[in-house]
Homo-oligomer: A and B are copies of this chain.
């Protein structure tokens, strides 16, 4: 045992080197199971680098028999080599993937390997999938994927929470994911801090100058965000994905998969719900027609309704249950359990709305923006649509809606 048990994560980086396409080939060839999966000789494998996120190297590898996806942490932000970053994030993604695969194996890529010296994660390659953002942007269905993600969030949240598990089972995971401070810092700064004050990482269309100034000087907004910051850091209800936007969701027909769990942490369930909701709202603001907007509002309605239904169904069914609010605790008073459940879900709803607002705002005026508006021809059109989303989001923080109907009513105008 270490003399200082608090020394925390220390990583042996002596074996680490950044992968190249030929490095990927050599790496995979050392693992028999992966060689079998790919088939043939390593020289026959097609290795393509497809890195397009902000943080990592990603390679897709195809062999005669099958394919894999290889993801490696870089010691810096991929798009900004001056922004240095510890390598451990792939470890949290690997841990998230393995936890979630126990709950929702059909909804994540198959985990194949994690190499803790090279910080390399190997998983199923999602051939012919596109991101949900692309699918919805191209006029695809938003309703069915929202139903699927609602159930995914409900199940992963419920089964990782104190509602379903004893504290002896939750705490080791909570303890482990609490070490994911590098990416928790990014979320805290980029989603919940920078956009609400002048900061050099922010940027926006000049047409939005006045909106941004109003937002950053609105006392109600600032108070709401201070509360969201507390919820985010100090409400470990369940294991979250932590970055559940429509670019972290892959679809192919009715096959829906969630990827990129490197931001995972124990936090408030409404955070995952809120991020998903935010990107539906961004798609709504960018949508090319009124019927298309209406379709996305339908998806928003369905998302919360399905989440709520699925979460409650698990809570009602769950036996023997976790430490909090189990059916056993309230066996004598089932009506109390119902009341407790309503309060719990009201609180998730309230968190969802708040975090959705912060995420919408940061995707329009913060460091990392979205592509949804790129199809618009002029900046004035783009600014107008972005203003729709920005005003909707700011109003969520100024005056929180009391029901899901109120959310969609605000979008149906």
Contacts and interface: CB of A to CB of B under 8 A. Distances in A.
A3 B336 CA distance: 43
A1 B12 contact: yes
Nearest to A173: B6
A330 interface: yes
A325 interface: yes
A38 interface: no
A388 to B, nearest CB: 27
Given A5-B176, A333-B219, A181 B171 contact: yes
Interface residues of A, number: 51
Contact of A236 (B12, B234, B339): B234
A152 to B, nearest CB: 22
A233 B172 contact: no
A332 B330 CA distance: 48
A167 B8 CA distance: 14
A97 B310 CA distance: 45
A398 to B, nearest CB: 14
A5 B95 contact: yes
A178 interface: yes
A208 interface: no
Nearest to A331: B197
For A95, A185, A233, which residue has the most chain B Cβ atoms within 10 angstroms?
Answer: A233
A133 to B, nearest CB: 29
Interface of A: 1, 3, 5-6, 8, 11-12, 91, 95, 116, 162, 167-168, 170-176, 178-179, 181, 184-185, 188, 193, 197, 217, 219, 222-223, 226, 229-230, 233-237, 323-325, 329-330, 332-333, 335-336, 339-340
22 contacts: A1-B116, A167-B184, A167-B188, A168-B181, A168-B185, A171-B179, A172-B178, A172-B179, A174-B175, A175-B176, A197-B329, A219-B335, A222-B333, A226-B324, A226-B325, A229-B323, A229-B325, A230-B324, A230-B325, A233-B323, A234-B235, A236-B236
Top 6 A-B pairs ranked by shortest CB distance? Answer: A175-B178, A1-B116, A8-B172, A175-B175, A171-B178, A171-B181
